[in-house]
Chains A and B, each alone.
Chain A
Amino acid sequence: MVMRSLVTVVDDDDSVRESLPDLLREFGFAAEAFSSAEQFLASGCIDKTRCLILDIAMPGMSGPDLQRELTRRRYEIPIVFITAHSDQTVRTRVLERGAVECLLKPFSEGALLAALHAALDCN
């Protein structure tokens, strides 16, 4: 049995946490979802996660905060940011810090797949 790569979703929006893991599984990935950065950090999924799909704006620790925290902890998980705000400054900043992609919600299936492939190729 082939171990399917784990893609983890961290987003405070319910509908994203409902819908995105289903699509990822249809793509053939394993999927986990958390509603906050803090939950993810506490989950023990960090090591298994091959790719992190991370919302930027969240209550408490934000997506970029988590990116910095993972860097600080020397994790090199490829991160695909997703955001409903079209804020170029934030987008540029997170890409500079090593994010694979920053997708603007709503994004297409194709754009997500391309970003995931780019992320997993990094590994």
Chain B
Amino acid sequence: MANALTCQDESGRCSSKSVLDIVKLIFAAAPLREVLTIIARSVEAQGKGLLCTIWLLDDDGRHLDCAAAPSLPGFAAHVGRMSVGPEGSACGTAVYLRQPVYATDILSDSTWDNYRHLVLAYDIRAAWVWPVFSSQDKVLGAFAILYREVRGPDTSDLQLIEDVSHIAGIAIERHVNEEELRRSEARKVAMLDSALDCIVTIDNEGRITEFNPAAQRTFGRRREEVVGEHLANVIIPPSLRKKHLEGLARYLASGEARVLGKRIEMTAMRADGSEFPVELAITRIPFDGPPSFTGYLRDITERKRSEEELLRSAAYLAEAQKLSLTGSFGWNVSTNQHFWSNETFRIFEYEITTEVTLQLILDRVHPQDIPLVTQAIAQAAEARDLDYECRLLMPGGSVKHLHIIGHGIRDEDGQLEYIGAVQDVTQRKLSEEALGNVRSELARVARVTSFGALTASIAHEVNQPLSGIITNASTCLRMLAADPPNVDGALETARRTIRDGHRASDVIARLRTLFSKKDATTEVVDLNEATREVIALLRSELQRSQVILRPELADDLPAVAGDRVQLQQVILNLLLNAAEAMSSVDDRPRQLVIRTERDGGDQVRLTVQDAGVGFQPQSMNKLFEAFYTTKSGGMGIGLSVSRSIIESHHGRLWATPNDGPGASFSFSIPRRPESVTSAPSLGAIPAPVQHTMRSF
């Protein structure tokens, strides 16, 4: 009985099984419950009235299920699951204690208190329960031998129990292992099937052994048609096949691997022969025997395109920065790290490998601007936006003008970072300076040009008093030379001489101011006063041109801040232009109005309105172009220079056609912020009322 569990079923339903038969069943992977039932039946065949049940421990190790009770129909369902623990049930206790639990008489055994009524229903009086161990001594379950009489085990019983326990252990362990293997395999297949990456395995000859669904989709090949084929022929473009085969041969011969364990990018080929970029990682499958490999491939067409677009964008940006002389920078104030674009390095003339520091920046800043930049840096620490201009003094001695703007942001960690742009505005600055010089020079040229037109007027203004001086002086001499001398008459003529001398001197003083070359200055200007002085200079010229001038100068006109001489230059130009525009007018009065007035709350406007030939609306803008002229003899420089002067006073100069004949030219400039009435003047000149003159 010791080595053969023979089943001698009195009902004849089951033939006896040797241990060998059972082992064969086990290795034929028969269902576990079937094998356990056969084992139980074989045990029951060993003795009259002997019943056998076998219990399996759950995966969680806390419950036992009845897996075989061949002679107790309905028993498994009847008792249900049993908990593993120090007490409660004989099976649970045996598994918990890892040792047999014997109940010779269930009626009197307290272990059976919970289940006594159940087993008594099956007419069972004695129960011996053993834990079943794996080869690693892990508890796998339990089996019980039951009798319908009061009974304890003898030596032969114990031998039987040991054998059964051993065989049941093998059966259960084998089953658990197979189950585990099956699950693992299922997991692997699921992984292969659901992987987004292509997974291809090859053997040591380079033949495909696995080709997952992603690979099938990507390469347009079915698994069945590629397994067993050479990988090179399936997914590697012809141009790369030789290299692939050489690499595989080299590895097999020397173990030298250039591609194993790394991600590499290469070109792959679809079924239709089209090529596309892939990322490939190859690993060697870690088993003994001839090496085989797994390749993980990913179609990176999209990524490549994005990368190229990114590169292109970066290239465009770099080019744009280069063309606009604008660099960008990032500055993490907290860590004091600087990130510069190449253009920023170029502007500062540092190598792009240089590690940027604040000191390095300050080294380039023009000494006079260092306080400015230091202050800007201090502001930056308070997270205020940056917007300032400064100069750099380059090692060669050249000066660069920069415009820097920056916007500070705090990241999640509260770190302050500036993102900004630095533009090289040297050219613009130089242009502005040059423009300023040109404007001054043009203004001077225009003054000199006007001088030509004014010569007659000036000559008249000076010659009149000179004439009086000479005549009076002659008279004076004659009166003194008479016998007796006419002293009273001589005194009177001498007084007139002095008076006329002053009159001439005043004219010269005004001219000297108006025609001197000097830089623009800012002073308080009474526009009415300035206008009257210009009118005084032009009086004779206007008379000669038969122009009727009507000044309409507003009382209490606010003062403006500006360059008096430049503004007078503009007024002079406007008046001369107006007179010129009327030179051919014979059918109507050559009437000229010069008007000053408030323009809104904070502007002062001056208008010169003529009754001349006017201008075509379409040539309005051209009027202000340098060298454009409607006059045959004029230089046409006056209006563009005038506009430039007015714009430098933050004002504007414009022309409008009159409702009637002629045109009006106006300029409007801001009043002085706190208007004061005392405007220094070159000497009060009475406002000429109306000069009407006709000549031949």
List chain A positions with a Cβ less than 8 A from chain B: 13, 15-16, 18-20, 22-23, 26, 56-65, 82, 84-87, 90, 93, 104-109
Contacts and interface: CB of A to CB of B under 8 A. Distances in A.
Given A26-B474, A65-B696, A107-B467, 9 more contacts: A13-B464, A16-B471, A19-B471, A22-B472, A22-B489, A23-B475, A26-B482, A62-B693, A106-B469
Contacts of A20: 471
Contacts of A16: 464, 467-468, 471
B496 A18 contact: yes
A63 B544 CA distance: 13
Nearest to B469: A106
B535 to A, nearest CB: 16
Q: What bracket does the count of chain B residues touching chain A fall in?
A: 20 to 34
A27 B471 CA distance: 12
A62 B692 CA distance: 11
Contacts of B464: 13, 15-16, 84, 105
B456 A87 contact: yes
A74 B673 CA distance: 67
A15 B461 CA distance: 12
Contacts of A85: 456, 459-460, 540, 544
Given A22-B489, A64-B695, A107 B496 contact: no
B536 to A, nearest CB: 15
Given A19-B468, A84-B464, A106-B466, A93 B696 contact: yes
B463 A106 contact: yes
A10 to B, nearest CB: 14
Contacts of B456: 85-87
24 contacts: A13-B468, A15-B496, A16-B471, A18-B496, A19-B471, A19-B472, A22-B475, A22-B489, A58-B693, A59-B692, A59-B693, A60-B692, A61-B694, A65-B694, A84-B467, A84-B540, A85-B456, A85-B540, A90-B695, A90-B696, A106-B467, A106-B470, A106-B471, A109-B474
B453 to A, nearest CB: 13
A20 B474 CA distance: 10
A119 to B, nearest CB: 17
Contact of A15 (B475, B478, B500, B692): B500
A25 to B, nearest CB: 8
A75 to B, nearest CB: 18
A82 to B, nearest CB: 8
Interface in B495-518: 496, 499-500, 503
A59 B475 contact: no
B500 A64 contact: no
A109 B472 CA distance: 10
A18 B694 CA distance: 24
Given A16-B467, A19-B496, A84 B474 contact: no
The 8 closest A-B pairs by CB, nearest first: A15-B468, A105-B467, A84-B463, A62-B695, A106-B467, A19-B471, A106-B466, A26-B478
B484 to A, nearest CB: 14
A15 B493 CA distance: 10
Nearest to A104: B463
Nearest to A56: B695
Nearest to A15: B468
B465 interface: yes
B501 to A, nearest CB: 11
Interface string B538-571: 0010011000000000000000000000000000
Given A16-B464, A22-B489, A62 B694 contact: yes
Query: Among the interface residues A61, A86, A106, A108, which one has the most CB atoms of the partner chain B within 10 A?
Result: A106
B695 A107 contact: no
Contacts of B470: 106-109
B166 interface: no
